[in-house]
Amino acid sequence: MKTHALLPILLGLSLTVGACGDKDPVDSGSDTGSAGDGDTDADTDADTDADTDADTDTDTDVGEVATVRGTVQYADGSPAVGLQIRLCYYSCKTYDSDASGGFEYVDVEAGVNHTFQAVQIGDPSWAIPNSLVSLEPDSERTLETAITVVPYTTTTPLSGQATVEGDGITIEADEAGYVSGVYSPDPGNVWVATVEIEPELAGLPADGMPGAPVAMWHLGNFDAELDPPWGFSTSNTYGLEPGTTVGVYTLDNIGKEWLSGGTATVGDQGITTNDGSGLPRLTTLILVPQD
């Protein structure tokens, strides 16, 4: 599925309510501790004991911070209003995109990788754009390209082993290796969803990507973990010469990194994963040509 980008003006007031984080406490948005873990350690209880516990919590300073802002849009260029934007480090800070599709985070942890998600709450038929955002200390960063949000093109319930025909991709799926992730919007059901999006139009920041993507998909049920990885093939060579090797990467929202799924090889009609390679997660998938 192809999309077109537009750059609406963004502005907004940050709301930092914890979402799901790395299984950490909810970030209330009002704590003064580091990494938004929601604990203020104010010791306001009325006990008279000597407080001899070994609590070494130093949540009194968030440390180095930064600001990041951007916009989200639909494929037709209209602003995506009311999406839940998640910026996750120890926990998730959330912001509902404003009337222009804008979002802004101030005083967030710097010098670390955050995962980014844009979520249509309550509607798992929409793909979740997912990437890494790295912030330098004391910086103000504006994501120059609007992030495009699209619905899945295909959604297939999964039972047992199945060949799933997706949007420009065919996936060899196996329910036995599927485990819902921390961020999965529909953890009670097992399904595979796909939508292809042109990397240059997706609007996602390229932080941490192991190279320039030649192809990209948003996959669901979002954040599901796959072990062993699911092999796949594409219906397009993306202009690459037969025999070219490409790296397979999906985003690990817990480890805050692009997770290698091994390699794939370009054939005459498409790209096919090599033995032992495939999808380790159902998140953003990118294919990167290797030198």
- pLDDT tens-digit map of 8-46: 323 232 333 333 333 333 343 333 333 333 343 444 444
pLDDT confidence of residue 3? 36
- pLDDT tens-digit map of 90-147: 899 999 999 999 999 999 999 999 999 999 999 999 999 999 999 999 999 999 999 9
Q: How confident is the model at residue 290 (pLDDT cuts 50, 70, 90)?
A: very high
Q: Which residue has the tokens 């070994």?
A: 54
Residue 10 — φ and ψ, nearest 5°?
-120, 150
Contact (CB, 8 A) for 140 and 166? no
Structure token pair of residue 131:
């990437």
The beta strands (E) that lie in 47-150 are given as: 65-74, 84-88, 92-96, 102-109, 113-119, 130-134, 140-142, 147-149
Contact (CB, 8 A) for 38 and 29? no
- pLDDT tens-digit map of 187-230: 999 999 999 999 999 999 989 999 999 999 999 999 999 999 99
Instruction: State yes or no: pLDDT of 271 exceeds 50.
Output: yes
Distance between CA 113 and CA 119 in Å, rounded? 19
Distance between CA 87 and CA 135 in Å, rounded? 11
Which of 191, 187, 194, 78 minimizes the C-alpha distance to 126? 194
Which of 117, 118, 124 minimizes the C-alpha distance to 80? 118
